Amino acid sequence: MAATQDGKQKENSDQNFDYMFKLLIIGNSSVGKTSFLFRYADDSFTSAFVSTVGIDFRVKTVYRNDKSIKLQIWDTAGQERYRTITTAYYRGAMGFILMYDITNEESFAAVQDWSTQIKTYSWDNAQVILVGNKCDMEEERVVSVDSGRLLAEQLGFEFFETSAKDNINIKQTFESLVDVICDKMADSLESNPAESTGTPTAKLGDGAAPLQQSECSC
């Protein structure tokens, strides 16, 4: 499908793309969601902690089979007091990065609750990747790789350990999330070709952010 061109190019927001995927990064405060996004979008990192207020987003374009996919990546505040605001953005999200901090047991224990939030507020087929961040801090590790992997298996999510600081597995996490979303869309079109008329994408696209309707075959 051709991209719509209304001539109004927003700053940092190229309108020339074939598909748009809305993604959310969620998890407890201080696990590294903003750092993760900054590393991916700007290849930058700061050790200063500025807790996110509400929600913010960045865009980044990736390519699959000669098609451009614009990722609209929402960075949510982990603090409880912003929960009402942030969960309003779950609707229409096609993918989630659910993050904990491998040096923070509480953030790992909260994963189940975050998963329930996804089920409650998002589209049924939203894809999720569980991420254990700060894997550069091996000496302070309190959550083993195996515990993370096991929990991901139980929840049916893919799993990565990452470091925003040392740039470990950041790009791979996003690439993997895009791949599973593409696979899921291709599967759903195969099993129900009638959906290619737009029904499922209408579901995908009725989120808080404007989404391009698409028939992804990537």
Interface positions with ligand GTP (CB under 6 A):
29-35, 46-47, 49, 51-52, 77-79, 133-134, 136-137, 163-165
52 touches Mg ion (CB under 5 A): yes
The DSSP code for 4 is: P
Neighbours of 14 (CB within 10 A): 12
The site that binds Mg ion (CB under 5 A) totals a number of residues, namely 3
> Given strand 19-27, what is the order of strands in its sheet?
55-64, 67-76, 19-27, 95-101, 127-133, 158-161
Minimum CB–partner distance for residue 62 and ligand GTP (Å): 22
Tokens of 70: 């614009």
Minimum CB–partner distance for residue 114 and ligand GTP (Å): 12
> Which member of 34, 107, 117, 176 binds Mg ion (CB under 5 A)?
34
Q: Which residues contact 4 (CB under 8 A, 6 or more apart)?
A: 15, 212
Q: Which is nearer to ligand GTP, 166 or 215 (CB)?
A: 166
Q: Residue 165 binds what, of Mg ion, ligand GTP, none (CB under 5 to 8 Å, by partner type)? A: ligand GTP
Q: Which is nearer to Mg ion, 22 or 33 (CB)?
A: 33
Q: Which is nearer to Mg ion, 52 or 115 (CB)?
A: 52
Tell me the DSSP string of 136-191.
T-GGG--S-HHHHHHHHHHHT-EEEE-BTTTTBSHHHHHHHHHHHHHHHHHHHHHH
176 touches Mg ion (CB under 5 A): no
